[in-house]
Structure 1
Amino acid sequence: MNTWLRHHLYAIHIAARRLLGTPFSSLTNIMVIALVLTLPLLASAILVSMEPLARNISVNPAISLFMNDTTTIERTRELAKQLQDEHSQSILTLEVIDKAQALQSLKASESWSDALKVLPQNPLPHSIIITLSDEASPTEMAEQLAQAWSQLPEVDVLQFDSAWIQKLEAILSFIRIVLGLLAAGVALIVITTIFNTVRMQALVQRDEIAVARLVGATESFVRRPFLYFGALTGLTAGLLAVLLSTLTLSVLNQAITLLSSSYGIPFSFTLPPASWLALTIALVMIIAATAARWSVTRHSHF
Structure 2
Amino acid sequence: MSIWLAQHLAALRDACRRLAAAPLNSLLSLLVIGIALTLPTAGWLMLDNLRALSGDLPGVQQISIFLSLDAGKREIGEIESRLQAGQVGRWRFVAREEALRRLQAAEGMADIIASLPRNPLPDAFVVTPADSRPAELERLAKAFSGWPKVAHVQLDSAWVKRFDALLRLGRLIVVLLGVLFAGALVTITFNTIRLQILAQAAEIEVARLIGATDSYIQRPLHYFGILQGALGGLCAAVLVAVGFHLLTPLVTELAQLYGANFALQGLGALHLASLAAIGAVLGWLGAKISVLMHLRRFA
The residue type equivalent to 2:15 in the other structure is A
The residue type equivalent to 1:45 in the other structure is L
1:167 deviates by: 3.7
1:285 aligns with 2:286: no
Distance 1:167 1:293 in 2: 44
2:291 corresponds to: 296
1:33 corresponds to: 33
The residue type equivalent to 1:19 in the other structure is L
Q: Look at both structures and tell me which one has the larger radius of gyration over its CA atoms.
A: 1
**SS of the residue aligned with 2:156?**
coil
1:252 deviates by: 1.6
157-166 or 37-46, larger mean C-alpha shift: 157-166
Q: How big is the alpha-carbon RMSD for the aligned residues of Structure 1 and Structure 2?
A: 3.4
1:247 aligns with 2:248: no
35-44 or 161-170, larger mean C-alpha shift: 161-170
The answer on whether the counterparts of 2:37 and 2:236 sit within 8 Å (CA) in structure 1 is yes
2:65 corresponds to: 64
The residue type equivalent to 2:31 in the other structure is M
Give the number of equivalent residue pairs: 290
Q: 1:284 to 1:102 in 2, by over 3 A?
A: closer
Cα distance per residue 1:147-182 (max 9 Å; x no partner): 345467966654332334334433433332233223
Distance 1:105 1:199 in 2: 70
1:52 corresponds to: 52
1:17 aligns with 2:9: no
Q: 1:105 to 1:249 in 2, by over 3 A?
A: closer
2:167 to 157, 169, 172: 172
The answer on whether the counterparts of 2:92 and 2:126 sit within 8 Å (CA) in structure 1 is yes
The residue type equivalent to 2:282 in the other structure is I
1:213 corresponds to: 208
The answer on whether the counterparts of 1:30 and 1:236 sit within 8 Å (CA) in structure 2 is yes
Distance 2:173 2:263 in 1: 21
The answer on whether the counterparts of 1:59 and 1:132 sit within 8 Å (CA) in structure 2 is no
Q: 1:106 to 1:301 in 2, by over 3 A?
A: closer
Q: 1:123 to 1:232 in 2, by over 3 A?
A: closer
The answer on whether the counterparts of 1:102 and 1:124 sit within 8 Å (CA) in structure 2 is no
1:186 deviates by: 2.5
Distance 2:222 2:101 in 1: 77
Cα distance per residue 1:87-130 (max 9 Å; x no partner): 531373455749xx98899789632146536xxxx6947x4523
1:212 deviates by: 0.7
Mark the runs of 5 or more structure 2 residues left unpaired by the alignment.
Answer: none
Mark the runs of 5 or more structure 1 residues left unpaired by the alignment.
Answer: none
1:222 deviates by: 0.6
1:193 deviates by: 0.8
**SS of the residue aligned with 1:265?**
coil
The residue type equivalent to 1:61 in the other structure is Q
Cα distance per residue 1:243-277 (max 9 Å; x no partner): 12222222222433433343443433232321222
The alignment's TM-score, normalised by the length of structure 2, stands at 0.80
2:177 to 172, 182, 186: 182
Q: 1:47 to 1:242 in 2, by over 3 A?
A: same
The answer on whether the counterparts of 1:44 and 1:272 sit within 8 Å (CA) in structure 2 is no
Percent sequence identity over matched residues?
31
The answer on whether the counterparts of 1:80 and 1:96 sit within 8 Å (CA) in structure 2 is no
1:201 corresponds to: 196
Q: 1:189 to 1:274 in 2, by over 3 A?
A: same
1:3 corresponds to: 3
Cα distance per residue 1:190-219 (max 9 Å; x no partner): 111111221222233222112111111111
